[in-house]
Amino acid sequence: MENTLVKERYTFEEYWQMELESEQRHEFIDGQIIAMPEVTQNHNTISLNLVITFVGLLEEEKFKIFVEGVKLQIESKKDYTYPDFCVAIKEGNNGADLVIQNPVLVVEILSEGTRLYDQVDKFLRYKKLPSLQYYMLVDTERIFVNVYCRQPDGQLWESSIYTLLTDAVSLPALSATVGLQQIYRSIFSL
């Protein structure tokens, strides 16, 4: 299913009220409301694998993990998305909040309907977040992980592509290394 625009332009207040009343998730991008598609079994499995993997890797005192149902604010009252998976700095993320602050890693799990949106539009927006160090795209139909890593100058991003189950993604800002075997557990095997 493709993302669908519900109406041409909404105010932030209209969007927020709609989200509180709706069973479906919507992203808010510069006045547009974009309905998010349902997820496939592979998408769901990858999301679960990420949670299991990162819970075992991260320092609980420093980071919090968020999955799909929590909004990420990019620009106040302008851009709100639902990342598929996110690791954020614990400080500033109160458990009662509806919005994620200070993400370090954002993961989007690619599907047919969101592939281009995730690869281009979301990345251009996510790059604005000063805390973000990594943007990871994970394909659901083939072994393919693309990780964008913010460079020390804060402006440039380096892309690394991983296509083998034996590959591992190094995420120094999180003191973590994640194997593709962990990401794709129960989907692909050696």
**Cα–Cα distance list, 67 to 40, 105, 166 (Å):** 15, 12, 25
Q: What b/e string do you get for 20-50 counting C-beta neighbours within 10 Å, with b at 16 or more?
A: eeeeebbbbbebbbbebbebeebbebbbebb
C-alpha span between 32 and 137 (Å, rounded): 23
Q: How many CB atoms lie within 10 A of CB 90?
A: 15
3-state secondary structure of 71: strand
Q: In whole angstroms, give the CA distance from residue 22 to residue 35.
A: 11
Q: Tell me the CB-side half-sphere exposure of residue 106, using CA atoms within 13 A.
A: 31
Write the class of the CATH domain 39-183.
Answer: alpha beta
What does the pLDDT read at residue 7? 53
State the pTM of this model.
0.86
- Domain extent listing, the chain: 39-183
Say how far apart CA 102 and CA 90 lie, in whole Å.
Answer: 8
Q: Is 6 exposed, middle or buried (0-12, 13-18, 19+ CB in 10 A)?
A: middle
User: What pLDDT tens digit does each residue of the chain (190 aa) get?
Assistant: 445 545 578 888 888 888 788 887 788 888 888 877 778 999 999 999 999 999 999 988 899 999 988 889 887 778 889 899 999 998 877 766 778 889 999 999 998 888 998 999 999 999 999 999 999 999 999 999 999 999 999 999 999 999 999 999 999 999 999 999 999 999 999 7
